[in-house]
Amino acid sequence: MNLLGLQRQFATAVMAPLAPARGEARTFIKPNGRMTPLERLEIYRRSYWARVLDSLLDDFPGLCAVLGRRGFDRLSKAYLSELPSCSFTLRDLGSRLEAWLRDHADFGGENLAVALDMVRLEWAHIEAFDGGTKKPLGPEDLLELGLEMRFGLQPHLRLLELQYPVDDLRIQAQASRGRVRPALRRSGAPKPAPIALAVHRVESTVFYRRLDTEELRILNALRHGSPIGEAIALMEGSPNMIETWFASWSQLGWLCQPVNGEEETS
């Protein structure tokens, strides 16, 4: 067996949810004076699983609060068994979790809809934390807002439409390291209350900011390359909020130059 083949076999054994058969371990690991091949392999396999399970919990404390620790552990092991890490960084562990949970709805139980909203929020949180930042436009760039002007939005900014107010629950879960399940049991899961949400970063801290529905609509239009005139035309309410919103977006540093007229996706 060449080195690449050995590395792949070892990685497969380490990332397996269950220990390989004793005879299989002997094919690529030698015993030493104190441990069998399987015992030596188990050191790495258990360390790997402890690390990835802890990492997923660190990234998704809100989901743990929705499902409870037992339900979250059950989901984590099933998800990582079916979709093991394929990235050099643990940051990407949860990148496929939303799609996986939609296909494995039983793991969400009676709170599936809340769990899906929470996964979307928590993945947006990860992307906002390490997403790129461009030089923001200042007030002097916004003195005259012509209808044909186009703006880009900061790459780290994520815009969400959610059916449940999971932002508050996530903040509680983060503060208590996911231990808000008893409160859920007493009061029940959050009731449906659609919200529009911006997930953004200031220096090294991620914040959530609720948006007006039309504010979200305009931001999405700008992100997809629409000039200001077309974006404003989407409004159904009072247009006198436009200046207030642009002033707020400028203060938060969300606006930047568009990237060669290309769309930026959230």
Bridge partner list, 205? 202
Q: Of 124 and 175, which is predicted with more confidence?
A: 124
Residue given tokens 């909203």 in the structure block: 117
Q: In the predicted model, what is the mean pLDDT of residues 189-212?
A: 93
For the segment 245-259, what is each residue's pLDDT rounded down to a tens digit? 988 999 999 999 886
pLDDT of residue 188: 60
Spatial CB neighbours of 32, under 8 Å, sequence gap ≥ 6: 40
Strand extents, DSSP E, the chain: 152-153, 158-162, 195-202, 205-211, 255-256
- Apex CA 150: angle with CA 148 and CA 154, to 5°? 165
Q: In the predicted model, what is the mean pLDDT of residues 96-107?
A: 98
Q: Are 122 and 144 spatial neighbours (Cβ–Cβ below 8 Å)?
A: no
pLDDT of residue 4: 87
pLDDT of residue 164: 96
pLDDT confidence bin for 242, thresholds 50/70/90: confident
Strand extents, DSSP E, 133-183: 152-153, 158-162
Mean pLDDT of the chain: 87
Q: What is the pTM of this model?
A: 0.85
Q: In the predicted model, what is the mean pLDDT of residues 12-19?
A: 76
Q: Are 159 and 223 spatial neighbours (Cβ–Cβ below 8 Å)?
A: yes
pLDDT of residue 263: 43
Lowest average pLDDT, out of 103-112, 116-125, 175-184, 236-245, goes to 175-184
Q: In the predicted model, what is the mean pLDDT of residues 128-139?
A: 91
Spatial CB neighbours of 44, under 8 Å, sequence gap ≥ 6: 14
Q: What is the largest CA-CA distance in the chain?
A: 79
